[in-house]
Structure 1
């Protein structure tokens, strides 16, 4: 008798050229493969993507168009279960349509009597209380609810879910490895590289002006160079160009913008080759932590603060009152106190890396018990 196969649909923000969300998908695929092998199961993932051809080409998995209900329904009909996550799927900060979409996919699976697993999601912010009942009702029928921080768990408890039902696990990307054969050994005798991940947020661009001013101060005081890392194309590339222009001609020559990196492991290697990182994007900070690169955070969303909290850190500043001095001070500290930072954070990071496999382990265990 051969190894049993389980088809599992994966729902998330996939195929949108967002390196962070693609890293979530890649990490889930790695973890399912590894934990499936350990428990004698072979998972066949089917990804709901806005660009299924690209997803299939990039990851070698089946994919269907996330906005074609008939295709989604058919995929769920043929599946043994649904994974919803990870990432910040259930929030209404960016759109009021986001929560209804992801809950609809969960509901479809539940109508078809398929087990549903909430995989390391960040829940919230949820500003519209009318969504509370929608989330509570769908989640009460889920097999496993695993969220990526205590704040998400607290929000679900306020919505009326029981304490026993909700488990806190790390973001899956903490467990993502570099490509096989890729080793990063930053040269100690070269100028340090500051990785910078920025995005558009404030209408007046005050946060990007603060980043530029902070980088100017750091470049004045060190021999460092700046490498901009666009996580979401093309918008982050444009935001990086804006900061580069704000730096002026004097410092522009000491900056580069990484071009056309779409595979998460390639971006992970870019982050790993930096000596420090300034990140607005959550997954830029997670990549840095996973590769033991000292980082400073610029918070535009509670999820940034929630991740930094897990490392006993706070954001250097926020988009509400962006402070160039605070960013510069933190970057200089990370450059000058690299070893001290690494020593302080090493055990916390190692724990998160180890626990990042927990959701896949629980899912593989569920199907292993079911097939006995």
Structure 2
């Protein structure tokens, strides 16, 4: 069986690459994957799979015709908060696959926000027509209940992603704190300045070494580079695009401060204390599920001292997830694998 995998792949986003790596890890051995990617050559090199350009219409149609199954490969693909066009791209491909009678799987989805009636209607039709559906949060599950669509609910599959150690991490001083920020309209220059001052005060108080980890180089690296001079000699920018190594970084980290969803999931899965900076409902859902402290970006304290004191307190007295809870989330994440087995074999 050939399965066409569609997601936000080949765009240099660590979270979406981690979802792809996990999907490839979970696919039945009888399935040959073909990945729609923004950078097919890189995807092919990294994962050893066939890949084609995600926006080359003729190539995509040819790949659809030569495949037996179609998979939405994880994440917040079906939402219209950041783009009105994106959900039509993914929904259009799913609709064509279903029209062709292919097996279709909506895998590890985080649905929404859906603000427009047209995208909501189209999404409902897509999900109703799927052979198998799995979602990663209770809000998505509630929406599918409303639409009367059968589904399976399980934690984000990246909980179960295999990881590799990165040798260079042990050359940096311990204890280490990982910081992952991303570009966002609510992360204004004033807020970034306050965050930077808070990080400086936090580092001085805790004597920690700060790892600045851009999850998407094209948007996050500039922010890391803006912060680094204020943390001269006590910080390092680490740019890793291989998902298993990216997750492995957190083996050597005591605490993570993150805006990126998968930076927090990777950190929590490795027993790090986590502090969230939320720009999206999906972060808030994770915060609620794990009882993780944090702030919404648009409601950050104006006083850098308030931020640094909260981080110092969490570093000193906060608790990471217990080994039992980590095992629970990791084992439950494997339910997404069972959905693939059932739908594709």
TM tier relative to shorter chain: over 0.9
Using the TM superposition, give the Cα deviation of residue 211 of structure 1 relative to its aligned residue in structure 2, in angstroms: 2.0
- 1:177 is aligned to 2:162: yes
- 1:191 is aligned to 2:174: yes
Aligned to 1:282: 261
What is the total number of aligned residue pairs between the two structures? Answer: 341
Aligned to 1:335: 315
- 1:352 is aligned to 2:336: no
| Distance (whole Å) between structure 2 residues aligned to residue 183 and residue 226 of structure 1 | 16
Using the TM superposition, give the Cα deviation of residue 366 of structure 1 relative to its aligned residue in structure 2, in angstroms: 3.1
Using the TM superposition, give the Cα deviation of residue 272 of structure 1 relative to its aligned residue in structure 2, in angstroms: 2.4
| Distance (whole Å) between structure 1 residues aligned to residue 56 and residue 168 of structure 2 | 45
| Distance (whole Å) between structure 1 residues aligned to residue 342 and residue 151 of structure 2 | 17
Runs (4 or more) in structure 1 with deviation over 3 Å come to 182-187, 324-327
Aligned to 1:317: 295
SS at the partner of 1:194?
A: strand
Change (3 A) 1:203 1:299: closer
Using the TM superposition, give the Cα deviation of residue 86 of structure 1 relative to its aligned residue in structure 2, in angstroms: 0.3
SS at the partner of 2:272?
A: coil
1:184–1:273: 8 Å Cα contact kept in structure 2? no
CA displacement 1:253-276 (0-9 Å, x = unmatched): 2111114x2111221122322111
- 1:216 is aligned to 2:200: yes
- 1:161 is aligned to 2:144: no
| Distance (whole Å) between structure 2 residues aligned to residue 365 and residue 185 of structure 1 | 41
SS at the partner of 1:234?
A: helix
TM-score when normalising by structure 2: 0.92
Using the TM superposition, give the Cα deviation of residue 186 of structure 1 relative to its aligned residue in structure 2, in angstroms: 8.6
| Distance (whole Å) between structure 1 residues aligned to residue 36 and residue 267 of structure 2 | 28
SS at the partner of 2:329?
A: helix
Using the TM superposition, give the Cα deviation of residue 14 of structure 1 relative to its aligned residue in structure 2, in angstroms: 0.1
Query: Which sits farther off after the overlay, 219-228 or 100-109?
Result: 219-228
Instruction: Structure 2: give runs of 5+ residues left out of the alignment.
Output: none
SS at the partner of 1:116?
A: strand
Using the TM superposition, give the Cα deviation of residue 332 of structure 1 relative to its aligned residue in structure 2, in angstroms: 1.9
CA displacement 1:110-165 (0-9 Å, x = unmatched): 111001111111111112222111111111111122111001222344xx411x61
Using the TM superposition, give the Cα deviation of residue 325 of structure 1 relative to its aligned residue in structure 2, in angstroms: 4.5
CA RMSD of the aligned region, Å? 2.2
Aligned to 1:3: none
| Distance (whole Å) between structure 2 residues aligned to residue 273 and residue 301 of structure 1 | 27
TM-score when normalising by structure 1: 0.86
| Distance (whole Å) between structure 2 residues aligned to residue 233 and residue 320 of structure 1 | 23
SS at the partner of 1:320?
A: helix
Decide which of 215, 221, 234 is 1:231's aligned counterpart.
215
| Distance (whole Å) between structure 1 residues aligned to residue 120 and residue 343 of structure 2 | 28
| Distance (whole Å) between structure 2 residues aligned to residue 211 and residue 272 of structure 1 | 25
